[in-house]
Amino acid sequence: MLLLALSDAHIPERAIDLPQKFKKLIGVPNKIQQVVLLGNCTKSHSFLKFVNQISSNVVIVRGEFDTKSVASTKNSREEIPLSTIIKQGDFTVGCCNGYTIVPKSDPLSLLTLARQLDVDIVLWGGTHNVEAYTLEGKFFINPGTCTGAFSTDWPQSQDPEPETEKSDADKAEASVTAANATANVTATATQTGASESDSEDEDENEGKSIPSFCLLDIQGSTCTLYIYTLADNEVKVDKVVYTKS
């Protein structure tokens, strides 16, 4: 089955619409079985309409700019949860915008969340930066912002040296790599290439994140992640395979 993860659209306060090229890719009815909106996606009538037409099975978690509730078809008004769990194939997937996770987007904090919710995959958002890695045998995916909306986080391009690896909490990192080596799990794909090119002409790209979204193809115990990014008006696709150990 195909699961589409969109996050941080921020329409209309930070972006006008999804990029046309994305719309063409995902705007096909009956192809995608489930859509997860990972926060800040509920303020545009037309966006929600578009998403509903991709699949009627839409899961929403609350971002910091979402209101407490949104109208749904089942219930006239449904409260949007901060976190929820989805079961697909052999996987349980935890979804959370992460605006209440401290420190923000910290891998160890996310790992704690994964443990609390007992999930294999964590989908989170809020950073406007696409990311995917495995830690302790769990798979962490942040689809970035689907519209390229402005983020008030520290700008990526400030670092003179490009970040090659998502390194946090040194010791944990060591254990991660060890765990990964034994479990034979692929882990890559942070948005490094993009942030390098950014620093070239910041003045043009300032405040614009790179639009991206993720598509998860879940078949039994295998999850194939496709990461779509739009750089220089070209859609790039990366593929990461994660198998449940």
Applying the rule CB under 8 A, the residues between 214 and 233 that interact with another protein are: none
Please report whether residue 68 would count as binding another protein according to CB under 8 A: yes
**Which among 21-29, 67-75, 209-217, 233-241 is the span making contact with another protein, rule CB under 8 A?**
67-75
Using CB under 8 A as the binding rule, whether residue 200 contacts another protein is answered as: no
Count of residues in the chain: 245
Longest dimension (CA), the chain: 51
Reading the block at residue 31, the tokens are: 């192809």
Of 43, 52, 28, 37, residue with least CA distance to 4? 37
Lookup: tokens for 187: 């882990």
Measured from the CB atom, the residue of 159 and 237 that comes closer to another protein is 159
Site for another protein (CB under 8 A): which residue of 21, 27, 88, 226? 88
Residue 244 contacts another protein per CB under 8 A: no
Binding of another protein by 206 (CB under 8 A): yes
* Window contacting another protein (CB under 8 A); options: 22-30, 153-161, 224-232, 237-245: 153-161
> Which tokens in the block code for residue 136?
């302790």
* 74 in contact with another protein (CB under 8 A): no
Q: Which residue has the tokens 């449940």?
A: 244
Distance, in Å, from the CA atom of 45 to the CA atom of 19, rounded to the nearest integer, reads: 17
